[in-house]
Structure 1
């Protein structure tokens, strides 16, 4: 399944009853890098009340890493609504940090949820998103007569052929969209092609 990922970081600011919400939202593929970004936000806004976060690494339908943190706000009022919005919008490899400056008026749990979700929503509206298609990679072996047939089938499924090794047989590295692999594989097996995962 394809999903969206942000192309570059954005920073936006929203306000709710004089509380300021500054949202950093950007591409993240590594939890350590996200924690480094969080430390940078803490250093940039040292007098802020809270730095709440949401993180999705990988496919939002089945993430490798998925976490949210309320950073002292009432449980479930900040990180979770931020995370839920990212998942609902099918955005992966993304991190969001919302820094709050308290404006003197308590918002209540419902108000906080709307404010934090709204801060991430505003950042998403400013973000340039691109569609990410997960790729499947493997090496396929065939006899010399089967090479042109293999190249035709891979091309038919929007894949590309990479490195080729000619020894006793032909070994070709291929790469194609993950969602095309099952159908291609069902065509390869009856024709005697051998598949080696990478």
Structure 2
């Protein structure tokens, strides 16, 4: 359920038969924000031959959004190998932009695939990655006498409780790392306390 995400953007440069490949790789959680970065990169390198991209938003094993663009390179020779590498390495919430300056020698589809994949690989090696664990939103319904127990158990599982709603019962919204939820849920149910998962955050 957890996956790797980049902490901050990095820029690296590789070369293949005198063609330069400049890779921007950084954290992305929003497609529109990624497109703004792409426009900035285009303006920084206006005379470049291509600006190929790959984007993975969410968990790389089941992304919310993923896309690749060859930007005029032969179909499947640039964006797709970039995207495949990000997915293979288990990196999510990430965007990659590889800017190419043509060096005068055609690389062929196989050479392009290696070069673009290699550019992203070099950036991944330079990038600082951290483990991202998605959060789960849940709601607990308990008696007044059980509220402090629920708050204690939630904190034991690295979670937090939000403002409770009081009627004949206590409705207590909680948020905690997704990998902690099964154990907390089992504890609450064992003590006869009702709980349900809300939409993942």
TM-score, normalised by the number of residues in structure 2: 0.91
- CA shift, 1:112, in A, is 0.7
2:174 is matched with 174
- CA shift, 1:195, in A, is 3.4
Q: Retained in 1: the 8 A contact 2:4–2:90?
A: yes
Secondary structure of the residue that 2:39 maps to in structure 1? helix
Q: Retained in 1: the 8 A contact 2:141–2:193?
A: no
* Aligned counterparts of 2:195 and 2:126: Cα–Cα separation in 1: 47
2:198 is matched with 197
Q: CA RMSD in A?
A: 1.7
Deviations 1:97-149 (A, max 9, x none): 00000000111111111110110111111111111000101221210122233
Residues 196 and 22 of structure 1, relative CA distance in 2, 3 Å threshold: closer
* Aligned counterparts of 1:126 and 1:163: Cα–Cα separation in 2: 42
- CA shift, 1:194, in A, is 4.3
Secondary structure of the residue that 1:154 maps to in structure 2? helix
More displaced stretch, 76-85 vs 170-179: 170-179
What is the correspondence of 1:65-144 to structure 2 with a 5 Å cutoff?
A: 65-144=65-144
Deviations 1:48-72 (A, max 9, x none): 1110000000111110000001111
Secondary structure of the residue that 1:113 maps to in structure 2? helix
Q: What residue ranges of structure 1 are gaps of 5+ in the alignment?
A: none
Residues 150 and 91 of structure 1, relative CA distance in 2, 3 Å threshold: same
1:11 is matched with 11
- CA shift, 1:42, in A, is 1.3
* Aligned counterparts of 1:96 and 1:170: Cα–Cα separation in 2: 47
More displaced stretch, 140-149 vs 11-20: 140-149
Q: What residue ranges of structure 2 are gaps of 5+ in the alignment?
A: none
* Aligned counterparts of 1:158 and 1:196: Cα–Cα separation in 2: 16
Q: Retained in 1: the 8 A contact 2:78–2:112?
A: yes
* Aligned counterparts of 2:82 and 2:197: Cα–Cα separation in 1: 40
Q: Retained in 1: the 8 A contact 2:140–2:193?
A: no
TM-score, normalised by the number of residues in structure 1: 0.92
2:2 is matched with 2
Q: Which runs of 4+ in 1 moved over 6 A?
A: none
Secondary structure of the residue that 1:163 maps to in structure 2? coil
* Aligned counterparts of 1:99 and 1:90: Cα–Cα separation in 2: 23
